[in-house]
Structure 1
Amino acid sequence: MISRIDLRGSLPKGGELRSVLPRAELDVEAALEKVRPICEDVRHRGSEAVREYTERFDGVRLESVRVPAQAVRDALAALDPGLRDALEEAIRRTRLVHRDQRREDVTTQVVPGGTVTERWVPVRRVGLYVPGGNAVYPSSVIMNVVPAQEAGVESLAVTSPAQGDGLPHPAILAACALLGVDEVYAAGGAQAIAMFAYGTEDCPPVDLVTGPGNVYVAAAKRLLKGVIGIDSEAGPTEIAILADRTADPVHVAADLISQAEHDTLAAAVLITDSAELADAVETELKGQVARTRHAERITAALAGRQSGIVLVDGLDDGLTVADAYAAEHLEIQTADAREVAARVRNAGAIFIGPHAPVSLGDYLAGSNHVLPTGGCACHSSGLSVQSFLRGIHVVEYDRAALAEATARVVTLAEAEDLPAHGAALKARFDWEVPAP
C-alpha cells in the first residue's frame, strides 16, 4: 500500500536527498499552455467566456456569474445548526490568532532630523478562490477571508465552482454569509483566476488572488502573476510525520489517511528511526483504509510515488530529512516533541505531540491551513494577515540631515557611475553641479 525508502547508514546530502524523497508530480508548465487561451479569451470576452467555460468544464450553464445576494442569505438560513456552530467557532478561533498578527507602523530616527517610517497598508481589493472538486471547503472560506479582514482589506470577492444548480456549494455560501461577504461568484478553474485578474462586466479586477486550487488554477496564477499578486501556486496537500518508537501507530496511520483523503495526488510521508513503528503503521493503514468512505482515493494516494515511509538512523537524520522535504504539514510525534519541533527549520505548519493532528489545523486550531506545498516551505510562509499587507517606507529628512548625508551620497553615486543621483542632492544647496 505504501512504499519504503531506507536511508539508514547512507543519508544523502543536499539536492541528492531531496531527489530521493517522495514528491507528487505537478506539471504546471504543461498546464500553462492549456490555460493561456482560456485566460486570453476571458480577457477579451469577459463574463460570456467565463460562462462558456463553466458550461464546458463543469456542465453548468450560468445565467449570471455573480451569485445573487439573496442566495447567500438563503444558504445561511438553511444551514444545519451543528455545522453553523462549528463554522462560527472556527471563525472565532481563526480571528483570535490572526488579529494578533496585525502590524504596527514603526518610525526609526536614523539621524537627527532624518526618519524612516514603515507604514503597513492593506491591499485594496482581493479575490479569494475556494476549491470545489472532490470535497467542499467552507473552511477555506474562513482561512482566506479572516486574515484579509483583519488586515483591513476593503473589498473582498469570493469565487468557487458552480454546482449542478448553478451556485457554489451552499456550505460555502453560508460561510460567506457568516463572514459578511456578499460578493460571490460561481466560477472555478483558470477562467475564475482570469476573471479576477482582468475584470469582467460582473466582476471588477482585483489586486491579489489567494487560495488553493488544482493544477490549472496554479498555472493560471503563474501565467497572470504580475497582472495580479498571488499568494502561491498551491499543489497537492502534504503531510509528513516525524515519529519515533513512542508514537502510537493508530494515530500515525489515521493522520496519514486524513490527508490522503483529499486527492489521489495527496502526499503522506512517515519519517521514522523505528522499523517496528513502520511495520505497525503499515498494518494499521490496511485496516483503517478499508473502513473509510473514500478507500479507493486514499489507497491511490498512499500507493503513489508522492507517499512513503522513510527509515533513518536517528532523530537527527529524521530532522535533516524533514527539513529537506519541507512539508506543508509536519507532525512531531516523538519523545520531547516540543524540543524536537523547535529544531525544525522548514515546514508550512508544525503540529506537536499526539493531541495536535493536522485535521485540527485544517478546521479549528486557529492557525491557517493555506500553506506552501511542493517543498516551498523552505522559502515561503502560509497565508496570514501579512499576506494582505504591503510595507511602505516613508522617508522624511530635514535640510540639515540631508546636508550631512550629501557628501557620502555623492561618493556612492560616483562609484556607481550615476552622477545625476549626487547632483539631485547638491542642487538643493549652493554647491556647484558638475557639467555633463
Structure 2
Amino acid sequence: MKIIPLTEDVSLKRSIDQGTEEQRKAVSEIVTTVRQEGDKALQQFTEKFDGVRVSDLLVTNEEITKAYETVSEETIEIIREARDNIRDFHARQVQQSWMTTAANGTILGQKVTPLDAVGVYVPGGRAAYPSTILMNVVPAQVAGVERVVMTSPPQKDGTLNDVVLVTANELGVKEIYKVGGAQAIAALAYGTETITAVDKIVGPGNIFVALAKQQVFGTVAIDMIAGPSEIVVLADASANPEYVAADLLSQAEHDPMASAVLVTTDAHVAEAVAEEVKKQLETLPKREIAQASMDDYGAIYIATSLSEAVDAVNELAPEHLEVVVEDPWAVLPLIRHAGAIFLGEYSSEPVGDYFAGPNHVLPTNGTARFSSPLTVEDFTKKSSIISYSKAAVKQHGEKISAFARLEGLEAHARAIDYRLKEK
C-alpha cells in the first residue's frame, strides 16, 4: 500500500461509473424488448446471458423444499438470528402518522403509508448473497409493504442457490423469480405476463443492473446507484495493525475497484499495517482481486494530528468508517460524513455486514455527504393532511389571495375569494 503524508485533497478522485455508450445502448434495448415482449424476452435474455433456458420463471415450493435438504440447521439458525437482529433495529425506525389541531379548527398532519409493492434484486449466478436479501427485505416488511418480490439470476442448472432460497423463505417472500440482469429490472418496472410490476426496486448489481435502474427511474423508484465498496479506518497509536489490515482486506476482496484506506496519526502503525497487509494477502483466497484493489485504490495517509485525520475522513465521506483510536466515542461527534460508523477495535466491518442489525446498504462514492443508509422510511411515502375550517379561511383568506396574485395566479386567488364572500 502507498504510504503518503496527508494533503489537503485526500479524495481518491473516483467518479461514479456511468457505463460506456455501448453498455447504455445494450441496456436500453433490453429494457425496450422486455417491455414489448414480456416473458418471452426474459427467457431469451436468460438463455443468452446466463447460459440456461428457464421455462418456469417462478420458483416452486418443490425447489424451496429441496433447498432445505442441503442447508444445515446451524446455517438456518444463523440466518434467523441475523434476521431478528435486523428486524429489531429497523423496528425502531418506524414513523407514525401525526396530526395537530389549532384553536381556529385547522387540522394539519402527515399520513405515513407503506408502498404497495417492492422488488428486491439479488445478484447471483456463481455467488450467493443471503445478506442482501435480509438487508433489503426486512426493512420493507417492517415498513408494512404487503408485496415483496425477489429476482435473482439462475445458476447453470436453472435453479437459484439453496441458501438464497432458504433465506428468502425464512423471510416469507412468496414471489421469487429466476431472472437477473437488466431484464429483471425491466420486468419489475413494467411487468410481464408472469411478473406484476412493483413501485420501487432495491438491491445491488453489476453495471448493467445499475444502468437499467437509472433508465426505469421515474416509472418506479429506486434505492440508489451504488459504486464499489469502500472502507476507511481512522487509527492512532493504540490500533492493532493485524486487525486494521484484516479489515482493510475485508473490503478489498469484494472488487478490484473497491477502496481500502487507512488514515492514521502514527507512522509506526502505518508501516506495520502495510507489512501486515502484504502478509495476510499471501493466504487470501481472493488474493488477486484484493491485490488489485490495494494497488489501485488503497492508500495509507499519515496525519499530523487527530483533528487533521478527522477532516480527511469527512472529506472522503466513506461508505464504512472504522474509528480505532484510544477514545472512539470522543471522536464520534466530529464525524459528519460516513455511511456506517464502527467504534472500537472489536467493531469490525463484517459485524455490520451480516449480523449486528443496522443496514449494510450504504451510500458510496462520497455520497455519504448527503445520503443515508437504507431504512424503513425508504419503503414508505408521506401524504400531507390539510383541513381548514371556515374560521381559518376567514382569518387567513385575504393573505392567501394576495399571495396568489403576487404570483399572477388569479384563479387561485378567486378560489379563496368565493369562500370569503360566503355569508
1:152 corresponds to which residue? 144
Q: Deviations along 1:201-259, whole A, 9 cap, x unmatched?
A: 11000000011111111111111110110010011111111111111110100001111
> Hey, what's the Cα distance between the residues in 2 that align with 1:243 and 1:412?
56
2:295 corresponds to which residue? 303
> Hey, what's the Cα distance between the residues in 2 that align with 1:166 and 1:234?
28
Aligned ranges 1:283-322 → 2 under 5 Å: 283-304=275-296, 306-322=297-313
> Hey, what's the Cα distance between the residues in 1 that align with 2:259 and 2:225?
16
Q: Give the letter for the 1:26 counterpart.
A: D
Alignment match of 1:65 (pick from 57, 60, 69): 57
1:141 corresponds to which residue? 133
Displacement of 1:136 in angstroms is: 1.6
Alignment pair present for 1:331 and 2:330: no
2:388 corresponds to which residue? 397
2:398 corresponds to which residue? 407
2:85 corresponds to which residue? 93
1:23 corresponds to which residue? 14
* Alpha carbons 1:327, 1:347 under 8 Å: kept: yes
Aligned ranges 1:154-303 → 2 under 5 Å: 154-303=146-295
1:384 corresponds to which residue? 375
Alignment match of 2:123 (pick from 131, 153, 158): 131
TM-score after normalising by structure 1:
0.93
* Alpha carbons 2:125, 2:156 under 8 Å: kept: no
Distance 1:384 1:107, change over 3 A: same
Q: Give the letter for the 2:388 counterpart.
A: Y
2:2 corresponds to which residue? 3
Alignment pair present for 1:45 and 2:44: no
- What is the identity percentage for the equivalent residue pairs of Structure 1 and Structure 2? 39
> Hey, what's the Cα distance between the residues in 2 that align with 1:333 and 1:319?
12
Alignment match of 2:68 (pick from 73, 76, 98): 76
Q: Runs of 5+ in structure 1 lacking a partner? A: none
Distance 1:430 1:127, change over 3 A: same
* Alpha carbons 1:111, 1:401 under 8 Å: kept: no
Q: Deviations along 1:356-403, whole A, 9 cap, x unmatched?
A: 111000100111111111111111111111110111111111111122
2:349 corresponds to which residue? 358
- Deviation larger for 105-114 or 281-290: 105-114
Q: Give the letter for the 2:122 counterpart.
A: V
* Alpha carbons 1:5, 1:309 under 8 Å: kept: yes
TM-score after normalising by structure 2:
0.96
Displacement of 1:342 in angstroms is: 2.2
> Hey, what's the Cα distance between the residues in 2 that align with 1:3 and 1:58?
39
Q: Give the letter for the 2:322 counterpart.
A: E
Q: Give the letter for the 2:419 counterpart.
A: R
Displacement of 1:108 in angstroms is: 2.3
Alignment match of 1:345 (pick from 336, 342, 345): 336
Displacement of 1:5 in angstroms is: 4.0
Distance 1:50 1:4, change over 3 A: farther
Q: Deviations along 1:158-214, whole A, 9 cap, x unmatched?
A: 111111121221111110110111200111111111110010111000000011111
Distance 1:426 1:77, change over 3 A: farther
Number of equivalent positions: 422
Q: Give the letter for the 1:414 counterpart.
A: R
Q: Give the letter for the 1:313 counterpart.
A: T
